């Protein structure tokens, strides 16, 4: 079976960094992933990088969360960043895990907006790219493994 080639997540992050303040603000104001298709700044980052519907939705998840995170070269995944973040309770994370799309992404973004975590973007982006029940479980496991006792 052929290994699927992942997008260049850092290229997406750098494209986000290069956006002027106005388009960045447009993306921050979006409250639901599906609202991105009505936002010109989304197309500056997406620009037809996926042909299949699942790929388009994966890019929507990435771009939806991108305004709320900062990249670090350290090996800090999303779960670890949330465990170290201030105010992220187990209860809030379980709301994300138990929610269906698109509410799971909306809940996750609210947490990201609150914490503004520094994380390894390619590592976090990979989790968001494949966002499904397994990804949610991986997020939860990483969160609990990195909680301070």
Q: Per the domain annotation, does 23 fall within a domain?
A: yes
Q: 3-class SS at 81?
A: helix
Q: Which two tokens stand for residue 101?
A: 């799309």
Query: What pLDDT is stored for residue 4 in this prediction?
Result: 64
Q: Per the domain annotation, does 101 fall within a domain?
A: yes
Query: What pLDDT is stored for residue 79 in this prediction?
Result: 95
Q: Per the domain annotation, does 4 fall within a domain?
A: no
Domain that holds residue 91: 9-145
- Percent of the chain exceeding pLDDT 70 equals 97
Instruction: Give residue 145's Cα distance to chain centre.
Output: 20
User: 32 in the Ramachandran plot: left (φ > 0), alpha (ψ -120 to 50) or beta?
Assistant: beta
pTM comes to 0.92
> How many domains does the chain divide into?
1
Q: Per the domain annotation, does 48 fall within a domain?
A: yes
Q: Per the domain annotation, does 1 fall within a domain?
A: no
pLDDT tens-place string over residues 72-125: 999 999 999 999 877 789 999 999 999 999 999 999 999 999 999 999 999 999
Q: 3-class SS at 107?
A: helix
Query: What pLDDT is stored for residue 95 in this prediction?
Result: 95
Query: What pLDDT is stored for residue 2 in this prediction?
Result: 42
Q: Per the domain annotation, does 57 fall within a domain?
A: yes
Range in 31-35, 56-60, 87-91, 127-131 the model is least confident about: 87-91
Q: Per the domain annotation, does 70 fall within a domain?
A: yes
Q: Per the domain annotation, does 54 fall within a domain?
A: yes
The CATH code of the domain that includes 118 is 1.10.520.40
């Amino acid at each position: 079976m052929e290994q699927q080639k992942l997008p260049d997540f850092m290229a997406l992050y750098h494209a986000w960094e290069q956006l002027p303040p106005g388009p960045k603000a447009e993306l921050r104001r979006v409250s639901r992933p599906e609202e991105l298709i009505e936002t010109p700044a989304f197309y500056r980052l997406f620009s037809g990088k996926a042909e299949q519907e699942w790929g388009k939705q994966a890019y929507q998840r990435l771009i939806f969360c991108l305004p709320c995170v900062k990249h670090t070269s350290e090996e800090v995944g999303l779960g670890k960043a949330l465990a170290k973040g201030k105010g992220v309770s187990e209860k809030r994370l379980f709301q994300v895990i138990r929610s269906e799309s698109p509410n799971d992404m909306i809940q996750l973004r609210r947490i990201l907006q609150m914490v503004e975590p520094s994380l390894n973007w390619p590592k976090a982006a990979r989790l968001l790219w494949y966002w499904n029940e397994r990804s949610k479980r991986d997020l939860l496991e990483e969160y609990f493994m990195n909680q301070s006792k």
